[in-house]
Amino acid sequence: MAEKDLKIYHGADECPITATIDVIGGKWKAPIIWLLMKSPTRFGELHKTIPGMALKVLSRTLKELEADGIVIRKAYPEVPPRVEYSLSPKGETLRPVMALMSNWSRVHIMGEVGTEEVF
Amino acid sequence: MAEKDLKIYHGADECPITATIDVIGGKWKAPIIWLLMKSPTRFGELHKTIPGMALKVLSRTLKELEADGIVIRKAYPEVPPRVEYSLSPKGETLRPVMALMSNWSRVHIMGEVGTEEVF
DNA sequence: CGGTATCCATATGGATACTG
DNA sequence: CAGTATCCATATGGATACCG
């Protein structure tokens, strides 16, 4: 790891890791991004697929992800309406980050072994 | 990325990324871990170094990190008391994760360039 | 279908005072 | 010095109803 990566940032505002956590953190962003990494998904399907998440929370979370440039919202002018959410190119760049985090948890939280060589 | 890394986890409970975020996420955990990655630090120094974080929050956050096995609390039986927090070996394994997250934010949020080759 | 609005419960955050 | 306890403000979460 390069020296600058050890630079100490005071507070939460300037901490680059916190900045990343603001984008993918919280209770629901990771599962949503994870789903969208597989394929573009409609609002209702996200709601069905992620149990326990209130409509309001899904709506707000998607707006935040859109504002951060991670997901793209595409509305089809049909009746009944159809809205599809997909990963933006910037969202795609999160793939290795998510993969490393997933791997870390599987090894160090869930106790799996032999997956370190994946990355 | 291996196929299994694309496995879809429903909800927040089973999502391995969420599991990682539970450990390093929230408003203050990353800055604290970041500081401890540099050197073991005393309670009061953490409090001084991270402005805006209430004592209560620092205390609770450290307890969570300790419960998750990320930090080690060492109390010296002196008067006045001295308590030093340091990264555990498990906490050390977070280093590449934190570094990748830091790098992602610097490139994709703060707009820096030329740092991709670090990892 | 894809949301928003509303209401309410709970969780989290921050300041200050206090204790071992 | 290293926390806890208390009080209060604000934020977040969830259920339901409603709208374009």
A3 CA vs D13 C1’ separation (Å): 41
Q: How far is the CA of A29 from the C1' of D1 (A)?
A: 40
A9 chain-B contacts, CB cut-off 8 A: 31, 34
B50 touches strand C (CB under 7 A): no
Q: What is the rounded distance in angstroms from the CA atom of residue A107 to the CA atom of residue B1? A: 16
Residue B2 in this model has a pLDDT that exceeds 60:
no
Q: Tell me the per-residue pLDDT of B71-85, one tens digit each, with 9 for 90 and over.
A: 999 999 998 999 999
Local structure of B103: helix, strand or coil: helix
What is the longest distance spanned by two Cα atoms in chain B?
56
Question: Which tokens sit at A12?
Answer: 């939460």
Let me know if A79 is exposed, middle or buried by CB neighbors in 10 A (0-12, 13-18, 19+): exposed
Return the CATH architecture of domain B16-109.
Orthogonal Bundle (1.10)
Scanning every residue of chain B, which has its alpha carbon at the shortest distance from the alpha carbon of A50?
B11
Distance from the Cα of B114 to chain A's closest Cα (Å) equals 13
Give the confidence band of B26 by pLDDT, cuts at 50, 70, 90.
confident
pLDDT digits over A37-64, tens only? 999 999 999 999 988 899 999 999 999 9
| Closest amino acid to nucleotide C20 (CA–C1') | B81
B77 touches strand C (CB under 7 A): no
User: Closest Cα to residue A51, out of B86, B58, B9?
Assistant: B9
| Residue A73, min C-alpha distance to chain B (Å) | 20
Q: Work out if A108's Cβ lies within 7 angstroms of strand C.
A: no
Q: What is the pTM of this model?
A: 0.86
- Report, as ranges of residue numbers, the positions in chain A whose pLDDT lies below 70: 1-14, 114-119
Which residue's CA shows the smallest distance to C1' of D15?
A54
Instruction: Check whether the bond before B80 is cis (ω within 30° of 0).
Output: yes
**Which amino acid, residue A89?**
P
Sequence spans of domains, chain B: 16-109
Nucleotide C9 C1' to residue B79 CA (A): 44
